[in-house]
Amino acid sequence: MTKADIVNEISKTTGIEKITVQRTVEALMDSVKESLQKGNNVYLRGFGSFIVKKRAEKTARNISKNTTIIIPEHFIPAFKPAKTFVIQVKSNVSE
């Protein structure tokens, strides 16, 4: 499902114009990005959490050149789904 699909689905179920829904969805995504850039986590009860994970410094190898490099400590965004969300997905996805 793409962002356009989400906008269409919300517009269809709520009756709100697509352009308004699109602005709202984009504003939500911008707010999440800005919060994570500041180092703040975003918690959406019943859905999940957008969190900032810290990756420690590590040594990596470039196999083609047979050299080692140091990858500095850095932060990455991550999503951790809520337990209720995981249970719903597990019980509804057909295999």
Per-residue pLDDT at 93: 73
Q: What letter does residue 13 receive in the DSSP assignment?
A: H
Alpha-carbon distance 42 to 34, whole Å? 10
Identify each DSSP E strand in the chain by its residue range.
42-44, 48-55, 58-62, 67-71, 74-81
Q: Which residues contact 9 (CB under 8 A, 6 or more apart)?
A: none
Q: Give me the phi and psi of 50, to 5 degrees please.
A: -95, 120
Q: What is the pLDDT of residues 42-76, one digit of tens each?
A: 999 999 999 999 999 999 998 899 999 999 999 99
| Total residues found in the chain within this entry | 95
Per-residue pLDDT at 92: 81
Q: What is the pLDDT of residues 30-43, one digit of tens each?
A: 999 999 999 999 99
